[in-house]
Structure 1
Amino acid sequence: MSVQLIKKDPKTGLLSIDNEGLDILKNIDADISICLIVGPYRQGKSFLMNRFISENENTFSVGDTDEPCTKGIWINKNPIKNSKNTCILFADTEGLESDDCDEAWDTKLFLLSLSISSIFLYNTKNALSNDAFKKLSVMVNLSQRIKIKSNTPTAFNNIKLKQDGPKFVWIVRDYSLKQTLKPNERLNKFLEMESESEKTGKKLDDIKTRNEIKDNMINLFKSFDCFYLRIPEFDGKLNLTLTEQLQSLNSLKFNKISKEFRQEFEEIRSFIYDNITPKEINNEKMRGQVFCEYLKSVVKLINSDECINLHDILSESVKAVAENILSKAKADYTTEMEKLFNDKNTCFNESDFLSKEKTISRNFIEFMRSNIFGSNNLAENYIKKFEEFREVKDHSGKLKGGKLFEFKERNEKQANILNDKVLNDAKNNYIEKMKKFMSSDLPKSWNSFYKSENDFSSECINSMNNNLITSNKTKYLNDFKLFKGEKSYSNKPYSGELLKFYNQNEQSIQDKNLRTANDLWETRKIDQRYSKKADFENALESLKSSLKNVLFECSDFDSFYSNFVNKKDIDRIRNSIIEPTTISSSVYPNYSSGINFQGTFSRPETKFYCPYPNCRFTSQSEHGVKVHIGRMHKEQFDCPYCPLCFSSEHGVRVHIGRMHRDDDSD
C-alpha cells in the first residue's frame, strides 16, 4: 500500500506536501534511504517499483491505458528496514512529458527527486541513446540551482555536491538489439568527454555543449551504473498475445515471466538493496523529523525558484527539529512530573523525589541526545537549554528556579501537609491510648505507668518514622516529644500531656492512700480518749508503722503522714488527755469520808467519751461508756403500738404483754 508524499496544488500549480505521507516520514526513528524512479510516463516505472518491494503484491497503482497513472510522488506506506537499521522507502514519481503537465512541473519534480533520493533510477526504453540523454540533460542543466552552500566557489561546490548527491542508475528497458558493450561500459563511454581539438564552427559548439552537460551530470551524482532489462516474456500456456500479456503484466504471477527477465531484474534489485545508503548531506544522515523539515525547506525553495543550498537547508532543518525536540522534551518532562502528583496527597521524601526526577530528566536527556543530529555540539547545546529550563541555581549552587524548583516546592508543601497529619495522628493516638490505659484500675504503679507510657510513645514514634515524608524527621519527632512532655532528672514530667496523666495518677495514688489511712485510723479508733498521753503516742506510732507497710507508691511518706495526722487535729486530742494527779492529805485532810489519810490516790477526774460521731456523751469510767453504747448505739427494736424502743426483741415482747395486751388480741 502506498501514500502520496508530493502532489500538485490545483490552484497554484506548485509542489505541495501531503500530510499523510509526511506523517509516515515523521514517525521513522531510523536513518532514511529513498530509492526513487523517474522517466517518461507509461514506461513501466510503477511495475518495477512494485516488484522491488514484493514479487507478487502491488504497492503502487498501475494502469493499462496510455494515460499516466501516478501523480506527484508516492511512497510505500510500510518502510523496509534492512540489517543496518536503515529504513528504505521506494518512491514512484509522475512520468515526465505527460500531456497534462508542463516542463516547469517536470523540472520541480526532477529537482525534488535529486534532493531527496539516495538512489536515482532513470527508466527509459529500447536503448541508451542520445535522444534519451538529451531529455535527461535538460533536467540536469536546470539542476544547477542545487548548491551545497551559498557563496561557495564552483569547483568546491561540485566536489561536495557529488559527495552528497544520489547514486545514478540507468535502467534501459525492452532492448531488442544485440548489445556489443556491457551496460556500464556503454554508460561510461557515453559520459566520456569528447575531444574539442581540430573542431570548428557548429560541431565545436555542439561538442562543448555535450561536454558541459556531461560535466554537470558527473558532478551531480555520486556514482553511475547501468542495467539492461529485456522485454518480459511469459509462459506460452497463458494463451495471451504479447500486447495482452504486457497490459496484464502487473496482475500476473512473477514466476510466470521468463527466467531471463527475472534474472536481469534480480540483478537490479540486489544492486539496490546492497548499495542503498542513508541520505546524507555534509556527512549528516537524516531521520524522520529532520528529513521532514529538510523536505519542507526544499519544496519551499523549489516553489520560489530560489537556489537550493543543501547544507544551509540541512542546518536549518536540524535546528528546527532540535527546537521541536527541546519543546517536546520540556512538555513531556512536565507531564511526567505531573504524573507523580496525580493524587493530591502524593508526596515523597526529598531523596526519593530527587531520585525519581533524576530518572525522568535523564530519560529526556538521552532522548534528546539520540534524536538531535548535526554537529557534535548541537545536541549538547540543546541539552544545556533543557537543563536551564529544568533548574536554575545561584552562585552557591543552591536551587532557586526552574521546573525542578517548582515541583520540589510543590512536593515539600504536600509533604508538610502529610507530615502535619502524621504528627497530629500520633498525638491523638498517644492521648487515646493513655486515656484508655488510665480509665480503669487506678491508681497505676509508677513502673506500670512509665512502661506503658513508654510503649505507647515508642509505638507512635515508630509510626511517625514509617510515615513521615521528609529527610529531616527530627523536627517532627521533637514536636511530638514536646507535645508529650519532658521529664526532669527525677523522672517526673514537668510539661506536656504526660504531666496531665502523671498528675491524674498521682492524685489517684494520694486518694487511695488517704482512704487507706482513714480506714486504719477508724479501725484503730485513734481519736478515742486516752488516760495517758503515752498511750496516745504509742497508738500514733503504731499507726505510722502500719501505714508505711500498706500505703501505695508513697515516695514521701513522712510528708504524707505529717499532713494526715495534722488534719486529724491530734493536738486537740493530746490536750484533752488528763494524766493521774498526786494529792496530799495535808491539803485534803477530810477526803475519803473524813479519814485523815496521808499518801496518794487517783482522783477520778478522767472523762471517757462516746466514740460515735455527733454524740457528746462522757463518763468518768470506760464501763459507763460501754453501757451508754449498749443502750444508745446498738441495734434498737421499736414497739409497733407506741413510740418506745428496746434493746432486744425480748424487751419488746414483755412490753407488749404488759401494755398492749388488748391491742395485741385485736
Structure 2
Amino acid sequence: MKAPVCLIENTPEGKLEPNPEAIDILSKINQPVVVVAIVGLYRTGKSYLMNKLAGEQKGFNLGYNVQAETKGIWMWCVPHPKKVNHTLVLLDTEGLGDVEKGDTKNDIRIFSLAVLLSSALVYNSKGTIDQDALNRLKFVGELTELIKVKSKDNDDEEAEFSEHFPIFIWAVRDFTLGLVIDGNVVTEDDYLENALKLKTPEKTLKNMEFNKPRQCLRMYFRSRKCFVFDLPSADKEVLQKMEEVPESDLKPDFVAQSKKFCDYIFDKAEVKRVIGIPVVTGIRLAKLAETYTEAISTTNVACMEDVVVSLSEIENKAAVQEAILYYENKMMANVVFPTETLDQFLNLSRQCENEALEIFMNKSFKDKDHKFQRQFIELVQQKKEDFCEMNETKSWECCENLIEKLSAEFEKALSEGTYSVLGGHKKFKQDLKAIKEQYNMETGKGVQAEAVLKHYLMSKKPIDITLLKSDEALTEIEKENEEKKAIQKNKELESQMLKLEQYQSKQKMADQVTTMEENWKQLEEKMSEERRLMKHQIERVIEEKNREMNTYQNQGSLQANMYHAQIEDLQNKKVELNEPAWYKPIWNGFTQVMGAVAPAVISILLQKKFFPL
C-alpha cells in the first residue's frame, strides 16, 4: 500500500462499518500479520508514530489543527522490516474525547476494536502519567461491557482477558520531567509501574476509584511497556509541519526516542493470534474486522468464542474446497493416464492427496467433531475413485485398440474360414499364442492389460472348441484331451481374473489404510503443535500473573488471593495438557470419522495395533 485507507468507517449516523476497499486489500494478504494499533486523545501526535513505523514521513494525517482528523480506524499495510514474509498492519484510530463528537459510546467502541484487532496496542498521551491521564483510560474498565471471551456466563471473564489481549505500550509525549523516583534514577518501565501502584486499604470508595483503572491495566494486559518522548521541537512552525521537515530539524533526543520505540515494536510485537486460530493472516484479519465491527455495532457485544466459531466455519469450508481443487489439478498435471500399474496410480494419488491434506490441515482450525476433515476425506476418496475409473477406462481403450491392431489378420482369417481345414486348429492356437506374445511385449497398456487380454482369450474359447471338434487331422482321443485342456485353461483364466480383482481390491484397501494413517499422523502433529502453543501461552500468562501477584502482596493487597486462584487454574490446565490422554477426545472423534467413511479400515488398524495411547 502506498498510502493508508480507512478500514472501519465512522458514518455520519454514528455507525461503524468496514470499508470494502480495505477488506479487499487484507483479503489478498496470505502472510501472517503483526497488527499495531494506536489509541489516545485526539491531537496528541498518534499519526506521527504510525508513519515512523511505516518507514515514511507522510501517510497518516497528522492533523496539527484544532480539529480531529482521523475518523474511524485507518489502515496501512507494509512489509515487516524485520520479519521475512510477514506484513505489518498499522491501525491509526480516531482520537478519543473529540469534543465535536461528544460521544463516549463511539470512543469505547473504537477502543474495543483496537484491542480486539491488534497484537500490540499503543496508548498515546501527553505530559505525564498521573491520575488525570489514568482517568482518561476509563475505557479499559469498560471493556467488559463490549468484549466477552466465551458465549456462556463466565465468572473468570476479566481474568482471561490477559490470555487474549495485545501487549500494551504507553507512549508519553512532550515529557519534561526527570525519570527520578525517591531520589533514584529509574527506567521508563519503572516510571509506568510506579504510576500503577495501588492504594491500600482498598475498601474506601476513594481508593477503589483510584485503583480501578490501575487494576484493569494490570489484569487485562499481560505485558506493559513505557516510552517517554521529548517535545520534538521548540519551534511552533516545525511542529505544524512535522510531515515535511527533515529529522535534522527535530531534537536529537526525540529522534532517538522515536527510533527506540520503532525498534521495540519491530522486535517485540508478535503475529496477531486468537485462541483457536493458529495464525492470523491478512485474510483472517479481514474476517475478524468485519465480524467484530458488526457484533459491536449491532449487539454492542463482541464474543471472541463466537467469532472464532463463525470464522472457522467459513475458513474450514474454504480449506476443503482449496485442498480438493489442489488434488484434482495436481493429479491432472502429474499423472499420465493410463498408469502402468495400479500401485503406480495409488502412489501418485497418495502423494497428491498428502499434499492436499497438508493444505487442509494448515488452513483449517477448530474443526469440531472433525466435520470438515470428514468432508475432505470423503471428497478425496470420491475424486480418487473417479480418477481410478478414468485410469481403468483409458487402459481398457488402449488395450482394446492394441488387441484389435495385433489381431487384425487373425480375425480376417477367422472370418474367411482359413482355420476350418485339416490341421486348422493347431494353426489357430499358434496364431493366437503369437498375438498374446506380441501383446505382452508392448508397454504402456495400463492397469487393465491382463484383464483385456484374458477377456479376449476367453472370447475365443467357443471358436477354439468348434475348430477342435471339426478338425479331422485329430483323432477322437486327441480331440477329447484337447477339449479337456481348453476347458481347464478357461477355468484358470476365470480364476486368474478373480484373483486379479481380489488383488486390486486389497491394494485399494491397503491404500485406504495408509490414507487414514496419514490423516491421523497430520492431525496428531497439528494438535501437538497447538498443544505446544497453548502450553507456551499458559506458561507466559502464569509468569506474568506471578509478577502481578507478587506486586499485590508487596502492597498488602487482597487482590493477591485472586491472582493466586487464577494461577492455580492455569497450572491445572497445564497439567491436563501434559497428560498423555489429552488427545483421547481427538482420537475418539477421528475413529468415528473412519467408521463413517471406511468401516473396514478400523478393524485393520486395530489388528496393526495402531493405537495413539
Asked whether the 8 Å contact 2:119–2:165 carries over to 1, the reply is yes
- Measure the CA separation in 2 of the matches of 1:72 and 1:409: 57
Asked whether the 8 Å contact 1:167–1:221 carries over to 2, the reply is yes
- 1:384 equivalent to 2:377? Answer no
Q: Which residue of 1 aligns with 2:199?
A: 194
Q: After superposition, give the CA deviation of every residue in 1:370-403 in whole Å (9 maximum; x if it has no partner).
A: 22234xx759653333112333xxxxxxxxxx33
- Measure the CA separation in 2 of the matches of 1:389 and 1:26: 26
Q: Which residue of 2 aligns with 1:108?
A: 109
- Measure the CA separation in 2 of the matches of 1:455 and 1:418: 20
Q: Which residue of 1 aligns with 2:445?
A: 468
Alignment of 1:143-158 (within 5 A): 143-154=144-155, 156-158=156-158
Q: Which residue of 2 aligns with 1:610?
A: none
Q: Which has the higher contact order (CA 8 A, sep 6+)?
A: 2
Percent identical: 20
Q: What secondary structure does 2:11 align onto?
A: coil
- 1:365 equivalent to 2:357? Answer yes
1:259 partner letter: P
The count of residues paired between Structure 1 and Structure 2 equals: 453
**Gap runs ≥5 in structure 2:** 419-423, 472-613
Alignment of 1:331-370 (within 5 A): 331-334=325-328, 336-337=330-331, 347-349=338-340, 350-370=342-362
Change (3 A) 1:385 1:478: closer
- Measure the CA separation in 1 of the matches of 2:413 and 2:247: 88
Change (3 A) 1:457 1:313: closer
Q: After superposition, give the CA deviation of every residue in 1:85-121 in whole Å (9 maximum; x if it has no partner).
A: 6543222222223355433322211110111212110
Asked whether the 8 Å contact 1:114–1:120 carries over to 2, the reply is yes
Change (3 A) 1:295 1:482: same
Change (3 A) 1:193 1:50: same
Alignment of 1:23-422 (within 5 A): 23-54=24-55, 56=56, 58-63=58-63, 65-80=65-80, 82-83=82-83, 87-98=87-98, 101=101, 102-138=103-139, 140-154=141-155, 156-181=156-181, 182=186, 183-196=188-201, 204-233=204-233, 242-282=235-275, 285-288=278-281, 289-334=283-328, 336-337=330-331, 347-349=338-340, 350-374=342-366, 382-391=372-381, 402-422=382-402
- Measure the CA separation in 2 of the matches of 1:125 and 1:255: 23
- Measure the CA separation in 1 of the matches of 2:277 and 2:437: 65
2:44 partner letter: Q
Deviates more, 1:284-293 or 1:301-310: 284-293
Q: What secondary structure does 2:137 align onto?
A: helix
Q: What secondary structure does 1:108 align onto?
A: helix
Change (3 A) 1:478 1:413: closer
Q: After superposition, give the CA deviation of every residue in 1:63-102 in whole Å (9 maximum; x if it has no partner).
A: 4544433332223233417448654322222222335543
1:33 Cα deviation from its structure 2 partner: 2.5
Asked whether the 8 Å contact 1:29–1:287 carries over to 2, the reply is no
1:317 Cα deviation from its structure 2 partner: 2.5
- Measure the CA separation in 1 of the matches of 2:4 and 2:405: 64
- Measure the CA separation in 2 of the matches of 1:485 and 1:44: 97
2:226 partner letter: C
Q: Which residue of 2 aligns with 1:527?
A: none
Asked whether the 8 Å contact 2:73–2:92 carries over to 1, the reply is yes
- Measure the CA separation in 1 of the matches of 2:432 and 2:143: 94
Asked whether the 8 Å contact 2:276–2:365 carries over to 1, the reply is no
Q: 2:408 pairs with 424, 428, 435, which one?
A: 428
Change (3 A) 1:495 1:90: farther
Q: Which residue of 1 aligns with 2:536?
A: none
Change (3 A) 1:458 1:260: same
Alignment of 1:568-587 (within 5 A): none
Q: Which residue of 2 aligns with 1:620?
A: none
Asked whether the 8 Å contact 1:141–1:216 carries over to 2, the reply is no
1:325 partner letter: A
Asked whether the 8 Å contact 1:4–1:72 carries over to 2, the reply is no
1:369 Cα deviation from its structure 2 partner: 1.4
Q: After superposition, give the CA deviation of every residue in 1:501-545 in whole Å (9 maximum; x if it has no partner).
A: xxxxxxxxxxxxxxxxxxxxxxxxxxxxxxxxxxxxxxxxxxxxx
Change (3 A) 1:78 1:213: closer
Change (3 A) 1:472 1:416: closer
Change (3 A) 1:453 1:255: farther
Asked whether the 8 Å contact 2:47–2:61 carries over to 1, the reply is yes
Asked whether the 8 Å contact 1:75–1:92 carries over to 2, the reply is yes
Asked whether the 8 Å contact 2:39–2:121 carries over to 1, the reply is yes
Change (3 A) 1:24 1:475: same
1:365 Cα deviation from its structure 2 partner: 0.4
Q: Which residue of 1 aligns with 2:543?
A: none
Q: What secondary structure does 1:98 align onto?
A: coil
- Measure the CA separation in 2 of the matches of 1:494 and 1:61: 100
- Measure the CA separation in 2 of the matches of 1:317 and 1:5: 23
Structure in which a larger fraction of residues adopt helix: 2
- Measure the CA separation in 2 of the matches of 1:432 and 1:58: 87
Aligned-residue CA RMSD in angstroms?
4.0
1:269 Cα deviation from its structure 2 partner: 1.8
Asked whether the 8 Å contact 1:427–1:483 carries over to 2, the reply is no
Q: What secondary structure does 1:280 align onto?
A: coil
- Measure the CA separation in 2 of the matches of 1:12 and 1:407: 57
1:177 Cα deviation from its structure 2 partner: 4.1
- Measure the CA separation in 2 of the matches of 1:291 and 1:495: 83
- Measure the CA separation in 2 of the matches of 1:322 and 1:371: 7
Asked whether the 8 Å contact 1:68–1:98 carries over to 2, the reply is yes
Asked whether the 8 Å contact 1:9–1:15 carries over to 2, the reply is yes
Asked whether the 8 Å contact 2:391–2:447 carries over to 1, the reply is no
Asked whether the 8 Å contact 1:127–1:175 carries over to 2, the reply is yes
Asked whether the 8 Å contact 1:433–1:456 carries over to 2, the reply is no
Asked whether the 8 Å contact 2:70–2:95 carries over to 1, the reply is yes
1:254 Cα deviation from its structure 2 partner: 3.1
1:389 partner letter: L
- Measure the CA separation in 1 of the matches of 2:273 and 2:435: 72
Q: Which residue of 2 aligns with 1:541?
A: none
TM-score (norm 1): 0.59
- Measure the CA separation in 2 of the matches of 1:495 and 1:186: 112
1:422 partner letter: L
- Measure the CA separation in 1 of the matches of 2:385 and 2:106: 55
Change (3 A) 1:422 1:17: farther
- Measure the CA separation in 1 of the matches of 2:78 and 2:445: 53
1:30 Cα deviation from its structure 2 partner: 4.6
- Measure the CA separation in 2 of the matches of 1:207 and 1:196: 7
Asked whether the 8 Å contact 1:294–1:313 carries over to 2, the reply is yes
Deviates more, 1:289-298 or 1:157-166: 289-298
1:178 Cα deviation from its structure 2 partner: 4.1
Alignment of 1:488-527 (within 5 A): none
Larger radius of gyration: 1
